[in-house]
Structure 1
Amino acid sequence: MSQVHIHKHEVKGTNLLISIVLNVVITIAQIVGGIVSGSLALISDALHNFSDVLSLIFSLVAHKLSRRKATINQTFGLKRSELLAAFVNAATLIIVAFILIYGAIERFFKPQEIESNLVIWLALLGILVNGFSVILLKKDADHNLNMKSAYLHLFTDMMASVAVLVGGLLMKFYGWFWVDSVMTILIAVYLIIVGSDLIKKSTKMLMLFTPEGIDIKEVVREVHKISGVGKLHHIHIWHLNEEEIHLEAHLECSEDFTLTEFDALLSKIELLVFEKFGINHITIQPEFKKEDPKDFIVQD
């Protein structure tokens, strides 16, 4: 296996830990406030916040596990743990959303008077706390799917608090208590949208789909331009994690190369696929006049 070493954005867990502590505080405050005020939107926001606390903890554990070194029994280490965390976090977003919708529909037909002042102040607190957490994780979210899942949980929390604030103001000045249910449903729909996108991306990586943006036929065309290459076949390209894209293939050589000559050819292929496609790990099985299927994709 050849590997191109690239500069990686160093994701640290400190900001995630700070966000966990802040969300524990806001969750407790919203649960108490929701019970006292009678606001379903506030309680639903607290429920969402609680799911976020669990998700953030899961993300933090996955982040720590992914940094473990490879062993004889774990030859890739635990690098894919962050993909699992992203998948689980996305799934929880969607589950929580449907729970909120069910509760909101029930409450819509039986609106209750709500202490709007308490709702407003706790919504403002939620916006400040989650907004700060979002800022903390924004940079890491751009480079890591696990961190992006945590970021999305916090971002939706912030948007949920904005929705609760709007609802609280409408209840205070117009007495529209049904708005509490409407805002809850809007929050839930947004959760389903962002959760579905994240679960789609993490599933593709976990199932070893060809990475988005990489055309295997284009990879083959470019490799075939290198002198000494016969035909590239039995090709697999996948994400190990977000930072590593692997290519595995058989290579029919045009000549009966020595090992030294093949190593030189391999270096050219390695540089090409990294510069053009961002593939930084390759494993090539050399062949010369071997009788086997020469299709690009062959079921092993």
Structure 2
Amino acid sequence: MSGSHSHNHTHHHGELRGRNLLFSIFLNILITAAQVIGGVVSGSLALLSDALHNFSDVISLVVSYVANRLAKKEASLQKTFGYKRAEILAAFINASTLIIVAVLLIIEAIKRFQNPEAIESNLVIWLSFIAILANGVSVLLLKKDAEANMNMKSAYLHLFTDMLASIAVLIGGLLMKYYQLFWVDSVLTLAIAIYLIWVGFDLLKSSTKVLMLFTPDSIPIKDIVIEIQKINSIKNVHHIHVWQLNEDEVHFEAHIDFQDDITLTQFDVILNQVEALLYHKFKINHVNIQPEFGKSDVKDIIVQD
């Protein structure tokens, strides 16, 4: 199998990722507690909705942290892939919670919009400002990992959208303080919810594709078949499956018909060519080939098992 992996670097990076998540969990617990108290005292739905979102952040970060720990566990006879999909599952759960929270916020915002209430804006302003700072620190901690890891991206999105929500709440608090526009509280809550649905759906779709073993969008199967069939001795490539196990592993399996009844030694040479081609040109790093000669099976590229 082609491709090299630095396990020591991965382990070290995973530990740093875990520490960043733990620190973000601690910050968000503090923010949530402060905003719940402040929302009740001030009567601000936007502040309470931000607290609810922060609480979902805490849950999502805990899910991400557990998944990050599980992903490091070794494979076994009962779990031959180990827990490599734990982080994808965490991303799916976190994306789902983003959308659920958004729907709840929309319902509450509509109710409050019909019956606006006076709000203690000073408390809203100060608590939202503190939340912006705390979430900003968490966002910076997770930003780099979010670019390459779906689980970390789900946690990052929770925190980033909450930072935006806190900014919206701060603006709303200022408008309520100086212009008595209390209906702004409900409007901002609706805007926050709509944005949550937008970012949550994209992540939900991406994680679902991986969990359902769909072919990654970046993998052109027909082009792969053409390239492999250019190799001498290969007659046909068929019965192909391509799937993404996690962020780091893309798996490819196929049946290959050979022109001649070659030896195992000859097959190994050709297999090395196929692995190198798939790795360097298509970033596929796990290859499983079933060699065939004169076998009368279905020769379609995709065959329903």
TM more than 0.5: yes
1:215 aligned partner: 220
2:210 aligned partner: 205
Where in structure 2 are there 5+ consecutive unaligned residues?
A: none
Q: Does 1:175 align with 2:169?
A: no
Q: Partner amino acid for 2:164?
A: M
Say whether the 8 Å CA contact 1:5–1:280 is kept in structure 2.
no
Q: Deviations over 1:65-97 (max 9, x none)?
A: 011110000000010011110001000000000
Q: Does 1:42 align with 2:47?
A: yes
1:5 aligned partner: 4
Matches within 5 A, 1:9-158: 10-11=13-14, 12-158=17-163
Paired residues, number: 299
Aligned partners of 1:216 and 1:201: how far apart in 2? 19
Matches within 5 A, 1:154-165: 154-165=159-170
Q: Does 1:185 align with 2:184?
A: no
Alignment root-mean-square deviation, CA: 1.0
Moved over 6 A (4+): none
Quote the offset at 1:113 in angstroms. 0.5
Aligned partners of 2:132 and 2:73: how far apart in 1? 35
Aligned partners of 2:225 and 2:133: how far apart in 1? 51
**Normalising by structure 1, what TM-score?**
0.98
Where in structure 1 are there 5+ consecutive unaligned residues?
A: none
SS at match of 1:63: helix
Q: Does 1:293 align with 2:294?
A: no
Aligned partners of 1:17 and 1:255: how far apart in 2? 58
Quote the offset at 1:176 in angstroms. 0.1
1:195 aligned partner: 200
Q: Partner amino acid for 1:89?
A: N
Aligned partners of 1:263 and 1:4: how far apart in 2? 16
Say whether the 8 Å CA contact 2:2–2:279 is kept in structure 1.
no
Calculate percent identity across the aligned residue pairs.
61
**Normalising by structure 2, what TM-score?**
0.96
Q: Partner amino acid for 1:253?
A: F
